[in-house]
Amino acid sequence: MKIGELAERTGLAPSRIRFYEGIGLLKVERQPNGYRTYPPQAVLVLDLIATAQQAGFSLDEIRKLLPPDLAQWKHGSLIETLRSKVQDIEALEVRLAQSKAHLVALLAEIEAKPAEIDCATNAKRVLSRIRSGELESPALETGDVTTLRKASRRRSVKTG
């Protein structure tokens, strides 16, 4: 099938399909005139890529996970990789719960502004409490923030 049909079947832009081809995730045959011809399994491969990305896999992780022939999955390796990703997600959930608790506490502290002080003084009061350790800061790591931003962008691309 040609790229237009593949794009229609998968809901992906042709540029996205060419991108996946360019980084080696999608195999394509070229006709003598240079046109791309995609095999029927390309729809499944693109669905797998989208599903894996939504589950938090990077493109490099997907590349390592996808076999050249979908009938040749390495069962043990697949199970190990999926279990590892589940552990990563569980660890992220713990850090997110901690961060949420810290942000809720921070919000409560900010909202508990004494009536006799202005906002700037309240900000100094809250920051002072954070510096002194009376209030904890969120537990997210830099990588967590990057992961969340990417997930948010993928959701907005899917829905937008």
pLDDT tens figures, 108-133? 989 999 999 999 999 999 999 888 88
Query: What is the CB neighbour count within 10 angstroms for residue 143?
Result: 10
Domains and CATH numbers, the chain: 1-73 (1.10.1660.10), 99-160 (no CATH)
For 120, the token pair is 């700037």
Q: Does position 140 have pLDDT exceeding 90, yes or no?
A: no
The proportion of the chain whose per-residue pLDDT surpasses 90, expressed as a percent, equals 51
Tell the residue number behind the tokens 């202005």, with chain if given: 118
The whole-chain average pLDDT of the chain stands at 86
Q: Does position 159 have pLDDT exceeding 50, yes or no?
A: no
Residues 22 and 54 sit within 8 Å (Cβ to Cβ): no
**What is the structure's pLDDT at 148?**
61
Q: For 30, phi and psi rounded to 5 degrees?
A: -105, 135
pTM, two decimals, is 0.65
Average pLDDT of the segment spanning 26-52: 91
**What is the structure's pLDDT at 147?**
65
CA distance 126 to 114: 11
Task: List C-alpha distances in Å: 130 to 95, 127, 133, 140, 141.
Answer: 19, 5, 5, 16, 18
CA distance 126 to 120: 10
CA distance 59 to 23: 9
Q: Lowest-pLDDT range, 1-5, 8-12, 28-32?
A: 28-32
If you count DSSP H runs as helices and E runs as strands, how many of each does the chain have, helices first?
7, 2
CA distance 133 to 129: 6
Query: What pLDDT, in 10s, does the model give residues 44-72?
Result: 999 999 999 998 899 999 998 888 777 78
**What is the structure's pLDDT at 154?**
57
139 band by pLDDT with thresholds 50, 70 and 90: low
- Which residues of 10-154 form beta strands (DSSP E)? 29-30, 36-37
